[in-house]
Amino acid sequence: MSTHTLEKTRIFVVEDQPQLLKNLLKVLALFPELEVVGTAQEGEDGVEQMVKLVPDLVLLDLELPGIDGIEVTKRLKRRAPSIEVLILTSFDDEQKVYEAMQAGASGYLVKRVGPDKIRSGIHDVMAGGTVLEAIIAKRFWNYFQSVQAKQAQPQNTWGLTPLEFDVLKFVAKGLSNAEVGRVMELERRTVRTHLSHIYRKMGVNSHVDAVVMALKAGIVEL
């Protein structure tokens, strides 16, 4: 396939406030590489539609009527694990961030960010990165470190190879797949393969879960 072919990123938007939904759709329409394939204003209906449509990425409001964004993420990741989830919310609450990321979300933006931030957030997640607002990220990783501080003896009980171990260490520092590839001189696809092996060995579904478990075991540091 030609590298010049523009493959559109298919996006599904879940937002319960009609005006905010309208604004989001206007923002996304500005960018030719993004294509909105569906919208929903509540979680349960959203999950059903997304499972049918299988978009590349979901922009998901955290505060929804009925089931919230965390529950939507859990159900969606169970039924269609390939769909990326980028949370949009007005909360600056690391506990909520932590829950959403543990449920399988790949990132988190607060609603007041501008169009370019939303666009770059989508691109980062699609490239295998994690998106966290800087102010929240700081508190988020501090929260992880307090979890890590309670651990005693480091233990690698999952049988990770030295190479997998290095990939995990770089991911813990917040590098995207592409950046890990550059640092370790590996193709991005190879990084993804290593990550899928790591997830399988550790019994997790996301790099956030893998990092949390590795921090708790004391085998990586931030």
The answer to whether 110 and 133 have CB atoms below 8 angstroms apart is: yes
Same domain as 95, residue 164: no
Q: Residues 209-217: what's their mean pLDDT?
A: 79
**How does residue 140 score in pLDDT terms, banded at 50, 70 and 90?**
low
Domain end point (choices 95, 114, 139): 139
pLDDT cut 90: percent of the chain above it: 35
CA nearest to 85, candidates 29, 135, 11, 192: 11
Same domain as 124, residue 82: yes
59 in any annotated domain:
yes
Q: What is the pLDDT of residues 123-135, one digit of tens each?
A: 988 887 777 766 5
Q: What is the CATH classification number for the domain harbouring 79?
A: 3.40.50.2300
pLDDT cut 70: percent of the chain above it: 84
Length of the chain: 222
Domain end point (choices 115, 139, 163): 139
**How does residue 148 score in pLDDT terms, banded at 50, 70 and 90?**
low
Q: What is the CATH classification number for the domain harbouring 202?
A: 1.10.10.10
Same domain as 98, residue 169: no
The answer to whether 175 and 183 have CB atoms below 8 angstroms apart is: yes
The predicted structure's pLDDT at residue 4: 44
209 in any annotated domain:
yes
144 in any annotated domain:
no
Segment among 70-79, 99-108, 157-166, 204-213 with least mean pLDDT: 204-213
Q: Residues 81-95: what's their mean pLDDT?
A: 82
The span from the CA of 41 to the CA of 46, in Å, is: 7
Same domain as 199, residue 98: no
Same domain as 156, residue 46: no
Same domain as 188, residue 79: no
Same domain as 161, residue 67: no
183 in any annotated domain:
yes
1 in any annotated domain:
no
Of these ranges, 59-63, 136-140, 162-166, the one predicted with the greatest mean pLDDT is 59-63
170 in any annotated domain:
yes
Q: What is the pLDDT of residues 189-209, one digit of tens each?
A: 888 899 889 988 998 877 777
Q: Residues 216-221: what's their mean pLDDT?
A: 74
Same domain as 181, residue 81: no
> What range defines the domain where residue 59 resides?
9-139
Domain end point (choices 86, 110, 139): 139
**How does residue 217 score in pLDDT terms, banded at 50, 70 and 90?**
confident
Q: In what order do the strands lie in the sheet with 84-89?
A: 34-40, 9-14, 57-61, 84-89, 107-110, 131-132
Same domain as 113, residue 18: yes
The predicted structure's pLDDT at residue 146: 65
The predicted structure's pLDDT at residue 31: 96
Segment among 14-28, 47-61, 195-209 with least mean pLDDT: 195-209
pLDDT for residue 87 is more than 60: yes
The answer to whether 198 and 168 have CB atoms below 8 angstroms apart is: yes
Q: Residues 157-162: what's their mean pLDDT?
A: 86
How crowded is residue 85: how many other Cβ atoms within 10 Å of its Cβ? 26
Same domain as 32, residue 65: yes
- Burial 38-66, CB ≥16 within 10 A → b, else e: bbbbbbeebbebbeeeebbbbbbbbebee
Mean pLDDT of the residues in the chain: 84
Same domain as 110, residue 15: yes
Number of domains into which the chain is organized: 2
Helix (H/G/I), strand (E/B), else coil: 36: strand
Same domain as 108, residue 179: no
Q: Residues 9-38: what's their mean pLDDT?
A: 95
